[in-house]
Structure 1
Amino acid sequence: MSITPEQQSEIDAARAAPSRTLRATAPGMEQHLYKAVPVLDHGFVRVVDYMGDDAAIVQAARVSYGQGTKKARDDAGLIRYLMRHWHSTPFEMCELKLHVKLPVFVARQWIRHRTANVNEYSARYSILDREFYIPAPEQLAAQSTVNNQGRGAVLEGAEAAQVLEMLKSDANRSYDHYEAMLSQDGQQGLARELARMNLPANIYTQWYWKVDLHNLFHFLRLRADAHAQYEIRVYAEAICAMVADWVPAAYAAFEDYRLEAAQLSGRGLDAVRRMLRGEEVTQESSGMSKGEWREFAALMQL
């Protein structure tokens, strides 16, 4: 992990000067404030600020439902109800601001979630550091033969060594040329906004990312899933650990109804009902395509 001395100095100063506040705080999240959690070889995630807690979700919901609700359900039960029935606005009352350092190709996946506020380190104004994501050997995998978006068997031996060498040498050569184009030694030097286009997608960038809890849960449901690309999944998993401490009741409901749950199509639900009645159901009799049936069979462990 690469925290600059300036960033570390800011973190140390902030942690050394806590301030009293009248606003609600979450003890579980207070322990995460400003601390950088290492991810990948040079990346990290750290909490810069947050707003709200489990109580804020309940408070917002009861504004809608009225005073009588509190007598009918405890807070955790209400949060589970909200999650189970796909309510959104009560969860939007909580917000989280993160500082993230990540490879550019991961950032391009991440930015597809357009429901957050983002401010990224600008290579138009600043010079990027010579830091690249180089996968660990166990992450070097061949293309999957059944999933166009996934990985297959891990590369081994000479082929794995050759791939690692190419990744390292190509990244460093590109950065050498980037530095040369920027050089002021006896030449004008190319503008930073143009020189950056020569950099590879595995160079690291940084951003501040602020999102409400409803949209954060949507991000985590997709990116913390076992099928997500490893390089973004490890960031999602680090954030999951923070959110579990921040809003434990909401995260428990999210884990139960989203992360560890599964969705069935109408045909899939019909197939389950028929199986429970003792019928033998096949791909042909289910009305599902081969791909749908393969996923259904894996889910049901057929």
Structure 2
Amino acid sequence: MSDALENVRFRSDMTVELVKASASDSDVLWAARVSTKGEQSLEDAGADPARSAGFINFLMRDRHGSPFEHSTMTFLVSAPIFVFREFMRHRVWSYNEESGRYRKLEPVFYVPGPDRNLVQEGKPGRYVFVPGTAEQHKIADEAVRQSCRDSYATYLELLEAGIAREVARTVLPVGIYSSMYATCNARALMHFLSLRTKREDSTFPSFPQREIEMVAEQMEAHFAELMPLTYASWQANGRVAP
């Protein structure tokens, strides 16, 4: 048991890997132009999208959203379970997550980093998070680490007693790391980013939990690289999904 607990690890980061993508600005063009060009719109699949930046901006500005759905991006995300529970609110996505029913969960847990704001001030809807004192950070760090070690020790005791994995996992905290594939189209991703990032230039304010924002920031970087014209137009139009 003691040897297993020595392998308990703590992280404060999130990782996002772009596994595969079929996503480009030209996808928006041929999808939109089928309404006026029919089958000839396929000619736009190989066209230079830069020549149609204005058209993409028109679609974004006037919220003609369906042409932005003809793309796919699949990400592999490693984050605490509580981040994934917020993800599941986004129902247009497709998810496949590792299962504690079928495999022994690794002892990797989230602990707030030194730059994580810890203290909430104000009422819901009008609150802010502030750093907190050095003593509060010390209390949070030590308490989280001890709680995770204790819960994982209990988890191992249950497994060693022959308890099924799907039952033993009930003692583990939502701060344990999991991994999942998450697939979306550009329109769904823009909606996700508008809600899960806090930006002063957004038309509508959002107050995401910092940990899911860390995931969103990495996804946004991939989106900007894959579909630069769409991304720029989304930015210019207040980060509102069409």
* TM-score bracket for the superposition, by shorter chain length: 0.7 to 0.9
**Any idea what SS the aligned residue of 1:193 has?**
helix
Unpaired runs of 5+ in structure 2? Answer: 1-10, 45-49, 200-206
1:44 maps to which residue?
15
Q: Tell me which structure has the larger Cα radius of gyration.
A: 1
1:62 maps to which residue?
33
1:234 maps to which residue?
214
Distance 1:138 1:97 in 2: 29
Q: Which runs of 4+ in 1 moved over 4 A?
A: 67-70, 148-151
- Cα deviation, residue 256, structure 1: 1.3
Farther off after superposition, 134-143 or 50-59: 134-143
- Cα deviation, residue 166, structure 1: 0.4
Letter in 1 for 2:34: V
1:56-95 residue pairs with structure 2 within 5 A? 56-66=27-37, 74-95=51-72
Distance 2:186 2:128 in 1: 31
Letter in 2 for 1:47: L
- Going from structure 1 to structure 2, the CA distance change for 1:150 and 1:103 (only over 3 Å counts) comes to farther
Distance 1:147 1:212 in 2: 31
- Cα deviation, residue 157, structure 1: 2.7
Distance 2:178 2:137 in 1: 26
Distance 1:140 1:258 in 2: 26
Matched, 1:201 2:178: no
The number of residue pairs the alignment matches comes to 215
- Going from structure 1 to structure 2, the CA distance change for 1:151 and 1:106 (only over 3 Å counts) comes to farther
- 1:157 is aligned, of 120, 125, 134, to 134
Q: CA RMSD in A?
A: 2.2
Q: TM-score by structure 1 length?
A: 0.67
Q: Deviations over 1:77-121 (max 9, x none)?
A: 111011111112111111101111111111111111011111110
**Any idea what SS the aligned residue of 2:109 has?**
coil
Contact 1:101 1:205 in 2 (8 A): yes
Contact 2:107 2:176 in 1 (8 A): yes
2:186 maps to which residue?
213
1:99-178 residue pairs with structure 2 within 5 A? 99-147=76-124, 150-178=127-155
Identity of aligned residues (%): 32
More RCO (CA 8 Å, sep 6+): 2
Q: Deviations over 1:128-176 (max 9, x none)?
A: 1111111112314212224368543222132321121101100111011
Contact 2:97 2:180 in 1 (8 A): yes
Q: TM-score by structure 2 length?
A: 0.82
Contact 2:73 2:184 in 1 (8 A): yes
Matched, 1:257 2:234: no
Distance 1:148 1:169 in 2: 32
2:228 maps to which residue?
248
Distance 2:36 2:234 in 1: 21
Letter in 2 for 1:225: K
